């Protein structure tokens, strides 16, 4: 238990401390600081990984801390010089940016965020032992990605995953923030429990960002951070669905970062409007603020590139609503034309120009195949914000009540000049969600940015929905709303416990499916006996020796679970742009080891000494012997020495290539 507690504390420090230190040095304070800090941590981790890789320095907590300290020193210098000079000249300071949160409120809110996250997280990780791996194939990519970084010391997103698809390095670019942060805490020994703890960490990031955004977006609503946190308990898509129904999805971290950055963007915008008549004097402060925002968005993009489009869509809709409101006040035609042209240029640069890149062109090249089949199920999935659609009568009733509050908030926000942007944002994101389920041309093609999956767009739609629900609930219950902090704290506490009770069965079911599923040809990877065998294998395989086998069976778990290196850490070596010829040879022809001399040459080249044999499964609707035929029908009666076995899995030493 002490080990898990230390891992949890280490994760919280790694997630928040780097961003907090640097942003605080720049002069940011309050809840906005806590909401934006994880995105800055993501940016610092990415920058540090690139710098250290270029300098051939091993990725480690020590060297990451050194990069953070250098960034903090630069931020402190910038934060001391610019705000000081501006304050001396004009009396303008960044303190005006901070929303009022007393220490008592901050402590209470922090404790409620942690409690809510733990109550959400517990049922999902309860099935199975805490150290047991997920039983789905997709998480093995991220488990092996963490192990690759901790093992090699290379955390760069440009090269950290180069050995995931075979023993020969290939060119692979992949977002690595989650893997970087987990590897700093887990090393190569505690990857699986640290990944499970990271799921709670992502929930904490999400709830912190939501509370921060509630404060920034609804400054006139008393105890808005508490109300937003309470409303967020009843949104199944995030974090419940993305953390447990979608198996260890690294991009969930990028989704969780969005609300906190939106809060910072709103603070920057409000600060700009506040000093619009004195922009020249306040310019150094504004430059520092927007530097915080831009670098935070870069950190967000490094975590999950598609999130860049999400946050820019939300910001552009809000800015468009503001410009439209102010257009009637602009008496000069040139100023009106300039405002419109500037907005059009912003839309073009952020939403259209990036789509000209080859990566996004390939994503958009696949036409959507959505139809109007399962119409009612799809509509209910969107309305309840649960792609699985399920749940008993009580969760359904909760979804209906939540939806009523949201619709009341939608009407209220649309009638308010200050909040109309929120209702328009909700409508635009709803259209994007609908376009991922139904053919809405040409919008459905644009949803290729999110791979056409509704579970990828619903979390973004949830952000304005939560805020609208707060507005609606406040309006419906205005006379019963608590007027003291104790009432707000009690309300969130009750909602957190109620949410945990209502959705406990759903969350436990998701966790059971991921960590302890019923054995089948399409989900089950390893049994308890096979896991015990993998621990024994760790005592057999040398540090420079590799194990080969089909990575859709237990072989793929050897790195993260037993700290044993394998030839294939990822199940789809043919999906990369330039696959390895040696990897293809082994995947297709390893079973020709007795007759094809090229097989032994490749095995010797990479010091592959062991073979992990297991029963075939169906993966991505394909029978694995069709995808990687070389790992099946291997004649092990000669040239192989059986070292261990468990259930249908067998572990051999390869002797066929001995001279």
Digit-coded pLDDT (tens) for 599-654? 999 999 999 999 999 887 766 666 676 778 889 989 999 999 999 999 889 999 99
Q: Greater confidence, 395 or 176? A: 176
Q: What mean pLDDT do residues 69-88 have?
A: 73
Which has the higher per-residue pLDDT, 458 or 570?
458
Q: Give Cβ neighbours of residue 345 (< 8 Å, ≥ 6 apart).
A: none
Please state whether the predicted TM-score (pTM) of the whole model is above 0.95. Answer: no
- Cis amide bond preceding 60, omega within 30: no
Rg for the chain (alpha carbons), in Å?
Answer: 26
Binned at pLDDT 50, 70 and 90, residue 332 comes out as low
Residue 6 has pLDDT above 70, yes or no: yes
Number of Cβ atoms within 10 Å of the Cβ of 560? 29
Structure tokens of 74? 């630069």
- Does the pLDDT of residue 248 top 80, yes or no? no
**CB burial readout 410-424, b (16+ within 10 A) else e:** bebbbeeeebbbbbb
C-beta of residue 510 within 8 angstroms of C-beta of residue 624: no
The CB-based long-range contact list for 15-24 (8 Å cut-off, 24+ gap) reads 15/41, 15/181, 15/201, 15/204, 15/205, 16/41, 17/41, 18/44, 18/45, 18/64, 18/68, 18/71, 19/44, 21/68, 21/72, 22/68, 22/71, 22/72, 22/75, 23/75, 23/292
For residues 246 and 557, the model is more confident at 557
| pLDDT above 70 as % of the chain | 84
Give percent of the chain with pLDDT exceeding 90.
45
Q: How far apart are CA 508 and CA 245, in angstroms?
A: 10
Pure H helices in 218-352: 224-232, 251-274, 279-303, 306-327, 333-347
Residues 68, 21 contacting (CB under 8 angstroms): yes
Mean model confidence pLDDT for the chain: 85
Can you tell me the mean pLDDT for 83-110? 68
pLDDT value, residue 488: 81
pLDDT tens, residue by residue, 565-580: 999 988 765 455 457 8
Model confidence at 354, pLDDT cuts 50, 70, 90, reads low
**Bigger pLDDT: 492 vs 319:** 492
pLDDT at 527 (0 to 100): 84
Q: With cut-offs at 50, 70 and 90, classify the pLDDT of residue 250.
A: confident
Highest mean pLDDT among 46-60, 121-135, 354-368: 46-60
Residue found by looking up tokens 């696949």 in the block: 366
**Which pLDDT does position 359 carry in this prediction?**
63
């Amino acid at each position: 238990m002490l080990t898990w507690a230390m891992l949890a504390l280490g994760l919280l420090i790694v997630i928040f401390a780097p961003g907090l230190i640097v942003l605080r040095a720049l002069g940011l304070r309050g809840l906005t600081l806590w909401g934006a800090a994880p995105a800055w941590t993501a940016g610092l981790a990415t920058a540090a990984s690139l710098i250290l890789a270029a300098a051939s320095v091993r990725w480690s907590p020590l060297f990451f801390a050194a990069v953070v300290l250098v960034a903090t020193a630069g931020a402190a210098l910038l934060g001391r010089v610019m705000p000081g000079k501006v304050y001396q000249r004009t009396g303008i300071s960044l303190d005006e940016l901070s929303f009022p949160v007393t220490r008592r409120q901050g402590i209470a809110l922090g404790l409620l965020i942690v409690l809510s996250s733990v109550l959400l997280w517990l049922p999902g990780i309860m099935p199975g032992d805490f150290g047991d791996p997920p039983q789905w194939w997709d998480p093995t990519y991220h488990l092996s990605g963490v192990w690759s970084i901790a093992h090699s010391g290379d955390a760069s997103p440009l090269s950290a995953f180069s050995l995931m698809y075979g023993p020969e390095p290939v060119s692979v670019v992949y977002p690595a923030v989650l893997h970087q942060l987990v590897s700093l805490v887990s090393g190569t020994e505690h990857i699986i429990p640290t990944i499970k703890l990271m799921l709670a960490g992502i929930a904490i990031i999400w709830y912190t960002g939501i509370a921060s955004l509630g404060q920034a977006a609804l400054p006139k609503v008393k105890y808005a951070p508490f109300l937003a946190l309470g409303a967020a308990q009843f949104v199944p898509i995030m974090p419940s669905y993305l953390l447990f129904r979608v198996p260890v999805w690294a991009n969930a971290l990028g989704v969780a970062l969005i609300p906190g950055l939106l809060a910072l963007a709103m603070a920057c915008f409000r600060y700009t409007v506040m000093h619009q008549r004195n922009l020249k004097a306040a310019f150094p402060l504004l430059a520092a603020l927007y530097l915080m925002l831009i670098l935070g968005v870069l950190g967000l993009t490094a975590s999950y590139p598609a999130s860049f489009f999400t946050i820019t869509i939300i910001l552009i809709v809000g800015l468009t609503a503001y410009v439209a409101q102010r257009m009637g006040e602009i008496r000069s035609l040139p100023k009106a034309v300039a405002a419109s042209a500037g907005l059009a240029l912003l839309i073009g640069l952020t939403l259209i120009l990036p789509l000209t890149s080859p990566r996004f062109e390939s994503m958009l090249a696949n036409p959507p195949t959505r139809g109007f089949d399962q119409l009612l199920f799809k509509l209910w999935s969107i309305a309840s914000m649960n792609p699985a659609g399920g749940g008993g009568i009580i969760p359904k009733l909760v979804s209906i009540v939540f939806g009523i509050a949201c619709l009341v908030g939608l009407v209220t926000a649309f009638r308010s000049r200050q909040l109309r942007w929120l209702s328009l944002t909700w409508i635009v994101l709803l259209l994007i969600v609908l376009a991922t389920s139904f053919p809405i041309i040409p919008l459905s093609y644009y949803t290729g940015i999110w791979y056409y999956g509704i579970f990828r767009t619903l979390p973004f739609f949830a952000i304005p929905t939560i805020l609208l629900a707060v507005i609606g609930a406040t309006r419906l219950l205005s006379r019963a709303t608590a007027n003291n902090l104790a009432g707000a704290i009690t309300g969130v506490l009750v909602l957190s416990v109620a949410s945990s009770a209502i959705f406990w069965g759903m969350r436990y079911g998701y966790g059971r499916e991921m960590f302890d599923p019923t054995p089948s040809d399409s989900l089950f990877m390893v049994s308890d006996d096979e896991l015990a065998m993998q621990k024994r294998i760790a005592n057999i395989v040398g540090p420079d020796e590799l194990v080969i086998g089909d990575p859709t069976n237990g072989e793929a778990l050897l790195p993260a679970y037993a700290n044993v290196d394998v030839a294939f850490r990822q199940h789809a070596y043919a999906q990369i742009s330039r696959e390895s010829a040696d990897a293809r040879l082994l995947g297709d022809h390893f079973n020709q080891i007795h007759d094809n001399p090229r097989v032994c040459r490749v095995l010797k080249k990479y010091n592959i000494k062991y073979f992990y044999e297991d029963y075939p499964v169906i993966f991505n609707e394909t029978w694995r012997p069709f995808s990687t035929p070389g790992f099946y029908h291997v004649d092990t009666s000669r040239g192989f020495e059986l070292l261990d076995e468990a259930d249908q899995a067998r572990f051999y030493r390869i002797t066929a290539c001995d001279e």
